[in-house]
Amino acid sequence: MTGPARVTFALLLTACLAVLPGSSPPRPPQRPVEPLNVLGDGPKVCDVISRRAVERVLGLRFFVVRRAARSIYDDDVTFACAVRSRPDSPVVLRIEVQDPPGLSLRALREIQAGYDPLPEDALPGFSEDDGFLSASAWTWTPNGDRLLTVYLGDGDPARDSAADAAQFAQQLKPVLLLRSLRGSR
């Protein structure tokens, strides 16, 4: 093959590989992190979360919400909120509080060491990004007796899912973890 033919072949091969079933499209560049007002005014999701914040993060205008005071699967979950794009679709946003968590404080700290820490005012905690469109954030009380987890799946591809999950955890922590801690004493 001559030089121009080799270049043409390489371009055609690259184009074909890019559209094969199962190949994932490249992730669009993410915008800078935009502040979210997770606890903002207006309509609420699960009695606490701003509907507008959920719409922005997921890129959805319509969605289905299920809130439970306790999880039907785990007795230690004292707050559960699940959002789906349709009733039969997978969960795209899940927020849970475990009291007590299924992990020790030592285990939480060991897990935290491998991920990005949350902002100073939300510590202890961390966020993780799976490299696609889903991410999660974990934060807990200082003594480790309560754990808040935020899972964000299939978020808006133009947003930074890990940063969004971290903002949810950071803003929900005082309301879902610390307020309940003060109220139980």
Structure confidence at residue 155 (pLDDT): 79
Range among 10-14, 45-49, 179-183 rated most confident: 45-49
Dist CA 79 CA 70 (whole Å) = 6
Q: Report pLDDT for 171.
A: 92
- At 135, give phi and psi (nearest 5°): -155, 170
Q: What is the pTM of this model?
A: 0.75
The strand ranges marked E within the chain are: 44-45, 49-50, 64-68, 77-84, 91-98, 116-117, 125-129, 135-140, 147-152
| Mean local confidence (pLDDT), 53-79 | 80
Please tell me the distance from the alpha carbon of residue 7 to that of residue 87, in angstroms, as a whole number: 49
Q: Tell me the pairing of strands 116-117 and 91-98.
A: unpaired
Give CA 124 to chain center in angstroms. Answer: 17
Which of the residue ranges 54-63, 68-77, 167-176 would you say has the lowest mean pLDDT? 68-77
Neighbours of 53 (CB within 10 A): 20
Q: Does the structure show a pLDDT above 70 at 76?
A: yes
> pLDDT > 90: what percent of the chain?
35
Query: Taking residues 157-180, what's their average pLDDT?
Result: 86
What is d(CA 76, CA 97) in angstroms, rounded to the nearest whole number?
Answer: 8
Crossing angle for the helix pair 161-172 and 51-58, to the nearest 10 degrees: 160
Q: According to the model, what pLDDT value does residue 3 have?
A: 42
148 torsion bin: left (phi>0), alpha (psi -120 to 50), beta (else) = beta
What pLDDT, in 10s, does the model give residues 148-165?
999 998 778 888 888 999
State residue 62's pLDDT score. 92
H helix runs in 47-87, sequence order:
51-58
pLDDT digits (tens, 9 = 90+) for 85-139: 999 999 999 999 988 888 899 999 898 888 888 877 667 899 888 776 689 999 9
Mean pLDDT score of the chain, rounded to an integer? Answer: 78
